[in-house]
Amino acid sequence: MEAETIENEDELETFRVEYLGRKRGKVGALFDRIPELDPEERPAFGKAVNALKEDAQAKLDAARERLQQEKRAAGPDLDLTLPGRPPMPAGSLHPLRETLGEVSGIFERFGFSVAEGPEIEDDWHNFGALNFPPDHPARDMQDTFFLKKHGYKKHEDAPTGDDSPQQRSSENQDVVLRTHTSPMQIRVMETDEPPFRVVVPGRVYRNEALSYKSYCLFYQVEGLYVDEGVSMGHLKQTLSLFARSFFGEAVETRFRPSYFPFTEPSAEMDIWWDAGAGMGGQWMEILGCGMVHPHVLESADVDPERYTGYAFGMGIDRVTMLRHDVTDIRTLYENDVRFLRQF
Ligand code: PHE
C-alpha cells in the first residue's frame, strides 16, 4: 500500500497496521528476524530497519496531515444555501419602540415631521434656553445626571434672562444627560426658520430612586408647533384628536392648569382610563403642554411679536404599561427574554 494514495481515515489505519502494527506489522517482522542473523550483520541490519520504520512513520504523518488539510479546505459539512427549517424564531418590536412609533405616526398624519436629538446636552439647551431660572430645583443633583459640572457660581455671575454669548458658548457649561426632550425645541428653532411643526421621540434620564413606577431613564415624545396665530385652541384640538386616535373615539380627556418654566400658560392633559369589567377607572396624566414662553422663542431667535406656538411632552412608558398590563416599569428595561417573548 502507498501512503501517497491514502484517501480516508480507514486507509490511514490500514497503512499503519500493515507497516507499523505491533503484532503483524511488516517493520516489526523485520525486527523479529534480527536474532536469526550473524552477530556482525545485526547492527547494519538494525540500522536499516530503523530507517525504514522512521520513513513509514513520516509517510503516515504526512498522509494524515494531507487528509486534515483536504477536510478543512472542503469547508463545514453543511449546505449554506439551503433555506432554514421552519418555524424560524421571529423577533418583534419592543413595546416601547412600538408605542413611540405609533405616537410619532399619528402626528405625522397630522402634518408634523419627526426629528431626533442628542441625549447628551449642555446646560443651555436643557435648562437655560428653556427659561429655567439659575437656581431652579430641576437643576439640582437630585434630578439631573451631570457629566461635567462647573458649579453654580457661573450661573450667579451670568446675566440672567438674556441670551448672552456667554450662556450660549459650550465652553464652561455643565454637560448633562437630557432630563426631557424639550431641548430639541431650541435645537429645531435654532437651525431653521418658522413655521415649525415637529415631534421628537427620544430617551431621557433622571436621577430618581428606582421603583416599580420610576426608572432612571424613560421615553418621551416632544411636540412643537410654531407659526403666526397659533393658539391654545389649536393645542387642545390637536391633543384631543391625538388621544382619540391613539386610545379610541370614546376616550375622555381633560386639561388641568400646571406650571413649566418654558410654557405660559401651562397645562397637563389627563385621560380617563377605564380598567374594564366594572373595575372602575381613574384620570391618568399623560402629558405636559402649553404655549411656548416668549423667552424661549427669543432664546432661539424667533420673534415672539410675530410668532406664537405650543409645545407638549408626552411620557411613553406609562401608556405602554397601561396598554400591555405591565405593572413594573423596570421590566421594560431589563430585556429578559421571558418578558419580551410575550409581545
Ligand atoms: N418637558 C416637560 C417634562 O419633562 C414636558 C413638557 C414639554 C411640558 C413641553 C410643556 C411643554 O415634564
Q: What is the mean pLDDT of residues 110-119?
A: 98
Nearest-atom index, ligand 1, CA of 182: 1
**Distance of CA 263 from the midpoint of ligand 1 (Å):** 8
Q: What pLDDT sits at residue 151?
A: 60
**Distance of CA 12 from the midpoint of ligand 1 (Å):** 77
For the stretch 128-139, pLDDT in tens is: 999 998 877 767
Residues 6 or more apart whose CB falls under 8 angstroms from that of 244 comprise 251
CA distances from 245 to 162, 220, 230, 264 (A): 40, 18, 22, 27
pLDDT of 267 higher than 90: yes
CA distances from 14 to 2, 21, 25, 32, 100 (A): 11, 9, 10, 21, 69
For the stretch 2-40, pLDDT in tens is: 888 898 889 899 999 999 988 878 888 888 888 898 989
Distance from chain centroid for Cα 27:
68
pLDDT of 99 higher than 90: yes
**Distance of CA 150 from the midpoint of ligand 1 (Å):** 25
Percentage of the chain beyond pLDDT 90 is: 66
Residue among 117, 123, 122 at smallest CA distance from 189: 117
Q: What is the mean pLDDT of residues 116-126?
A: 96
Q: What pLDDT sits at residue 77?
A: 79
pTM above 0.75, yes or no: no
Q: What pLDDT sits at residue 171?
A: 67
Name all residues whose Cβ lies below 6 A of ligand 1: 180, 182, 260, 263, 288-290, 311-313
Nearest-atom index, ligand 1, CA of 310: 11
CB 204 within 8 A of CB 179: yes
- As a 3-state breakdown, the chain gives helix, strand, coil percent values, each rounded to 5, of 40, 20, 40
CB 95 within 8 A of CB 343: yes
Task: Determine how many CB atoms are found less than 10 A away from the CB of residue 227.
Answer: 14
Q: Give residue 278's pLDDT band: very low, low, confident or very high (50, 70, 90).
A: confident
Residue among 100, 105, 143, 114 at smallest CA distance from 320: 100
Q: Give residue 316's pLDDT band: very low, low, confident or very high (50, 70, 90).
A: very high
Atom 10 of ligand 1, nearest CA residue: 289
Out of 180, 205, 316, mutate this one to test ligand 1's pocket (max ligand atoms within 8 Å of CB): namely 180
Atom 6 of ligand 1, nearest CA residue: 313
- All three cell numbers of 46, joined, read 538494525
Write b or e for each residue in 16-46: b if 16 or more Cβ atoms lie within 10 A of its Cβ, otherwise e.
beebebeeebebeebeeeeeeeeeeeeeeee
Rounded Cα–Cα distance for residues 199 and 116 (Å): 8
